[in-house]
Amino acid sequence: MRLAILITNTDHSDFAGARPDDAVKFSRFVALARPDWSCTSFDLPRGDALPKLEDFDGFIIGGSPAFLSDDRPWIAPLLEFIRAAHADRVPLLGTCFGHQAIAAALGGRVGRNGEGWGHGLLELQMFQVPPWMKGAPKVRRLYGSHAEQVLDLPDNATVWCASEGCPIAGFFVENSIFTTQHHPEISADFMADLVDHLADYMGAEVTEKARASLIDEADNAAFAEAAAQFFEQAIRA
């Protein structure tokens, strides 16, 4: 399987530079379930052109501290790319910003989380399980850090999970779109470092709640298996 990772991360700080970048994080995430698959990354904020749809079997759109409402030159072309991929039924996996971008591109609505930040290890309530996840381990917890989220679904979308303060924490559209508001590519060490790094910005209440949540670990491997099964069934269809 040939996957393209569309990097949207605009954090080029010293904190980010001292840790694995999103190309490495998502390649490791894919390898949790399918170590023989190839991953090629395209860093959109740094000026990489979007790949051709026909050159890859599927696409992963990652997270970012950017907002969809930001005036950034790469966002509008990304939304057009999503619409073209959806029209051709090319499989898209969206995480965090990618989840929001897919929703917005297809007619959904994105806005601020009315209950404030979702930050730390977040518990998932699963609703309608996508067909390809029935043979995968259950995904009960994922790391997250977000102030915006999907408020209204695009047409034909189905919610598969919710988390505290986030009723649409993941959705799917038929067999070719699969999303999560959260970060299955983030490791336990990275999340702990991020909570410490953002402590002053987040404030004591949000930070202490996030730290307390980290007693457990995320179900990244389970989500990686679900994502792999998603791409496999989309290609077979």
Is residue 183 part of the annotated active site? The answer reads yes
Give residue limits of the domains in the chain: 2-236
pLDDT for 230 equals: 96
Beta strand 38-43 pairing with 2-7: parallel
List Cα–Cα distances, 47 to 4, 7, 58, 168, 203, in angstroms: 16, 11, 21, 31, 34
Architecture of domain 2-236: 3-Layer(aba) Sandwich (3.40)
pLDDT for 237 equals: 64
Total-model pTM:
0.95
Q: Which of 99, 146, 161, 185 is catalytic?
A: 185
Is residue 39 part of the annotated active site? The answer reads no
pLDDT tens sequence across 14-66: 999 999 999 999 999 999 999 999 999 999 999 999 999 999 999 999 999 99
* Distance in angstroms (rounded) separating the CA atoms of residues 20 and 33: 19
Q: Which of 96, 119, 161, 182 is catalytic?
A: 96
Is residue 182 part of the annotated active site? The answer reads no
